[in-house]
Structure 1
Amino acid sequence: MRMQAAVQLVYPPQCLTCDALVTTDFGLCAACWRETPFVSGLVCDCCGVPLPGEETGGPVQCDDCLAVARPWSRGRAALLYWDNARKMVMALKHGDRVDLARPAAGWLHRAARPLLAPDTLIAPVPLHWTRLIRRRYNQSALLAAALGRLADLPHCPDLLIRRRNTRSQEGRDRSARFVNVHEAFRVNRKRDWMMQGRPVLLVDDVMTSGATLAACAEACLAEGAARVDVIVLCRVAKDA
């Protein structure tokens, strides 16, 4: 404790996204907190996007989830993909800011609480091995591992394999996104025993159309998962 206090005197904690001083490690200053769109209140039970109105006690769904059948059961998001949230995702994904996974896992844990059962297996959306070599880490796997530690639940980083290097989803419309990832994922034969008859919680950094998560969920269900839920750090909303 004394050593930690001495370190903080020499290197006082700074905001995650700016140089402002904060009171605790891995925190946001007041200005950055105001610019970080945390999800709260009534949300779609399937994808986690915020909805207008008051909570009624029962599950509700957004227009997208009513129009497009989701293979997973329930979903949540910690943040909306704009302002400071987008900045942090880009820093984690492309800027080597792996330190962001720790506070992000806390936000994920809070959002995912309705989805966590005692026997839940946590698994990330995988990168193709060629992309993993270039990036050196899978940001979704970092988030999933940190969430597993917080929730005290098992985490399997290689439950799923991306069997082809799909092109970027950016700039594609909804239909093209689903075509791009169709049958792009399979369950790792060395790990399939871990999810037999138990719920799986898939973790990803951003959900836009839900195509990637749908392909992953279908692969899990086809190989024996009892149920699949999804949790993402950021949800792209139409008015974002």
Structure 2
Amino acid sequence: MVEIEDKAHRKRMPDGMRRALAAALHTVFPPRCICCGDAVGSDHGMCSPCWQEASFITGTVCDCCGAPLPGESATIELCDECLSEPRPWDRGRAAFLYAGTGRKLVLAFKHADRLDLVPPLGEMLARAARPLIEPGMVIAPVPLHRMRMVRRMFNQSALLAQTMSKHTRLPCVVDLFDRRRATPSQEGLSRAERHQNVQDAIRLRPKYAAKIKGRHVLVVDDVLTSGATMAACAEAARAAGARQVSVAALARVAKDA
């Protein structure tokens, strides 16, 4: 409590002093592209080549899975896959395709311990998920099994969810879901195998059932491929009484990938 009070009463640094300090730091440590490390003009920015190779998802998208769709439409559209096999969640968005710069950023974040990427990637995801945001929503990340958490030391989806929480001012419950058993990697599995792999593996922790009953839950993950893990979380949330479930992924694997 003392620490919180100290922060609340601490004098805020004047804007002029803050800008001068930032300029001094940039003189010693010039901003670098978050992907390749080349010099750029601002913190958390990308150089021109990396930006051009980043397939940001804009324009018309599938309202359920966030996949980009051809043409321009002002109405709600669904892709063929979501029409033929309805998802257990309601709406979804993704920031960019899992290709080029997007793939490099995700791999660096997950496997190279690039935690400096959390602020820019979390902000990108918050912007992409803006159409889904509504008052009273609860944000929750896809869970890691405890053994994988020990090996990786952090849950990348939880870090993204917490950053989104700061941008949206919505509550984030980082341990809302529990991965009850360790599942093999989804990499290389077919759509059916992915769904089988996570069947009965994820549940909503009973202590949070009352917290999400009748509320809208936003499930956050780093990559959406088949949607099997998102589906398992959505089913667990609905079983616990969630009124609505939406999903947000940093990267979306292209349908023809």
TM range (shorter): over 0.9
Count of aligned positions: 239
Say whether the 8 Å CA contact 1:178–1:211 is kept in structure 2.
Answer: yes
Residue 143 of structure 2: aligned partner: 126
The aligned runs of 1:1-240 (5 Å cut-off) are 1=18, 2-55=20-73, 57-240=74-257
Query: Taking structure 1 as the reference length, what is the TM-score of the superposition?
Result: 0.97
Is the CA contact 1:163–1:184 (under 8 Å) kept in the aligned structure 2? yes
Identity of aligned residues (%): 53
Q: Which amino acid aligns with 2:28?
A: V
Contact 1:38 1:80 in 2 (8 A): yes
CA distance in 2, matches of 1:198, 1:219: 14
**Offset of residue 6 of structure 1:** 1.1
Unpaired runs of 5+ residues, structure 2, are 1-17
How far the C-alpha of 1:3 sits from its partner, in A, is 2.1
Structure 1: 5+ residue stretches without partners: none
- Whichever of the two has the greater Rg, that structure is 2
8 A Cα contact 1:221 1:227, kept in partner: yes
SS of the residue 2:207 aligns to: coil
Instruction: Give the SS at the match of 2:136.
Output: coil
For residues 205 and 31 of structure 1, what CA distance do their matches in structure 2 show? Answer: 23
On the 8 A contact 1:14/1:20 being kept in 2, the answer is: yes
The answer to whether the Cα contact below 8 Å between 1:128 and 1:161 also exists between their aligned partners in 2 is yes
Whole-angstrom CA distance in 1 between matches of 2:54 and 2:168: 23
- The one-letter amino acid paired with 1:16 is I
Per-residue deviation, 1:21 = 1.2
Distance 2:84 2:118 in 1: 33
Mapped to 2, the partners of 1:229 and 1:238 lie a distance apart of 20
Deviation at 1:19, TM superposition (A): 2.4
Give, in whole Å, the separation in 1 of the partners of 2:194 and 2:256: 20
Residue aligned with 2:220, SS: strand
